Amino acid sequence: MNVLPQTERPLNGLTVVDFSQFLSGPLCGLKLADLGARVIKVERPGVGDLCRNLYLSDTDIDGDNSLFHAINRNKESVTADLRDPNDRAALVELLTSADVMIQNFRPGVIERQGFGYDDVRAINPRIIYGSISGYGEDGAWKDLPGQDLLAQARSGLLWLTGSADDAPTPMGLAVADMLAGNALAQGILAALVGRGIHGKGALIQTSLLEAMIDFQFEVLSTHLNDGNRIPQRSSINGAHAYLGAPYGIYQTSDGFLALAMIPSLEVLADLIEIKGLEDLYGDTAVLITQRDPIKSKIAAQIITRTTADWLAVLQPADIWCSEVLGWKEMRETEAYQRLDLEQTIVRSGTVRLKMLRSPIRYNGATLKSDRAAPELGQDTDRVLAPKRPHSAAQ
């Protein structure tokens, strides 16, 4: 696929000053950078974003871990000591002409440094100020660690996930951080559109908890309107607390098969040659009320044949089903390769890394960039030195 030139990206010409670290705030910055914004990452001298050393594996790439490279590619890095008057003055000068600022410190931390929303708005009334907290800016939880697994645990998601007899099950990803970062990016983009209409800046706030609650809006909306009944997770192949049989993942003789929607229980039973369910035909309510007995019979039959065999039987009959792929198999599919999702980025002139591109396509072109995550402070002199008071005096 064609790559959209920087000059044609919709946020080209906008400047984002990103004080955030770890995952949620930097993910928001990454989304804006891919859309064309200039993202300047502000880090502590000598230390930087703590995410530089938060290793997901033993993979070290040019002095930083793979997560830092993934979340901070396509950005600039400056170092500034917020206790140093010259560094503070340079940051104030930078924010004077910036379009967006991002931060994800615990409530009160950035305010004590003099870069809270009211402080920044005073020097730049048109600023779009994006903020992510763990659980909101007020209340009993406001000072608790805003960490992904803890937010999942407090949101009800761990309790909802898995089969009935499973212990609370976390997602295999930092889903609270990622969803909060995407929510903030969405809010910032809306505020930028609004500023183009009425000329006013805005404060955009979200939290890990809000993102996790929004993630569950489908099932929580049902819960809030059905007498607050607690959903019962399936004991067999649990996949969705509110959906009936056969919804779930079934083991085949050589792998796994995902089964979702079916025309009717009778059609499915006939196709996979199950006996003993005839008394349940014609009553869709039994797919919930008799969910586990039905799933048990389906599971006992599905395991007798290969995944490919079942797909050949079920897909032509409009049974919604799929093979379950690992990363290796998924990357080998024609669909994955056709979408051209991978890109190579270069750091220090010689270090080449495989990364994923933005999922957005714009006017038929991808938003790839070969610009790697910055080395700590590599852009400080170019970006901040001209803005420091002693530099201006020279």
Query: Which residues 6+ apart lie within 8 Å of 271 measured at CB?
Result: 313, 314, 317, 319
Calpha distance 181→155 (Å, rounded):
17
pLDDT at 242: 87
Each residue's pLDDT tens digit, 267-292: 999 999 999 999 999 999 999 999 99
Each residue's pLDDT tens digit, 30-77: 999 999 999 999 999 999 999 998 766 778 888 898 999 999 999 999
Q: How confident is the model at residue 391 (pLDDT cuts 50, 70, 90)?
A: low
Q: Give backbone dihedrals phi and psi of 11, rounded to 5 degrees, phi first.
A: -100, 10
What is the pLDDT averaged over residues 182-194?
98
Domain ranges of the chain: 6-215+358-393, 256-323
Query: Which residues 6+ apart lie within 8 Å of 94 measured at CB?
Result: 17, 40, 383, 384, 387
- Which helix or strand (DSSP H or E) is residue 370 part of? none
* Cβ 129 vs Cβ 101: under 8 Å: yes
Query: Between 58 and 158, whose confidence is greater?
Result: 158
Whether the per-residue pLDDT at 392 is higher than 70: the answer is no
DSSP state of 392: H
List the single range of 56-60, 94-98, 123-127, 272-276 with lowest mean pLDDT: 56-60
Whether the per-residue pLDDT at 232 is higher than 60: the answer is yes
pTM, whole model, 2 decimals?
Answer: 0.92
With b for 16 or more beta-carbon neighbours within 10 A and e for fewer, the 89-108 pattern comes to bbbbbbbeebbbbbbbbebe
How many degrees, rounded to 5, is the angle at CA 151 between CA 120 and CA 132? 10
Q: Of 84, 177, 292, 318, which is the active-site residue?
A: 177
Calpha distance 22→8 (Å, rounded):
30
Return the axis-axis angle of helices 291-302 and 265-272, rounded to nearest 10°: 20
pLDDT at 394: 46
- For residue 219, the Cα-to-chain-centroid distance in whole angstroms is 20
Three-state secondary structure string covering 328-360: HHHHCCHHHHHCCCEEEEEECCCEEEEEECCCC
pLDDT at 393: 47
pLDDT at 61: 85
pLDDT at 59: 80
Query: What mean pLDDT, rounded, does the chain reach?
Result: 94
The percent of residues above 90 in pLDDT, for the chain, comes to 88
Whether the per-residue pLDDT at 115 is higher than 80: the answer is yes
How many degrees, rounded to 5, is the angle at CA 100 between CA 98 and CA 105? 120
CB count in 10 Å sphere of residue 194? 14
Is 177 one of the catalytic residues?
yes
What is the pLDDT averaged over residues 284-312?
96
Alpha carbon of 394 to those of 84, 385, 386, 387: distances in Å?
Answer: 19, 11, 10, 12
pLDDT at 55: 65
Whether the per-residue pLDDT at 24 is higher than 60: the answer is yes
Whether the per-residue pLDDT at 108 is higher than 80: the answer is yes
Return the axis-axis angle of helices 148-155 and 208-215, rounded to nearest 10°: 50
What fold is seen in the domain 6-215+358-393? Rossmann fold (3.40.50)
Query: Which residues 6+ apart lie within 8 Å of 269 measured at CB?
Result: 275, 277, 281
Calpha distance 292→290 (Å, rounded):
6
* Cβ 115 vs Cβ 103: under 8 Å: yes
What is the pLDDT averaged over residues 326-344?
95
Calpha distance 370→6 (Å, rounded):
11
What is the pLDDT averaged over residues 196-207?
98
Token representation of residue 181: 């970062």
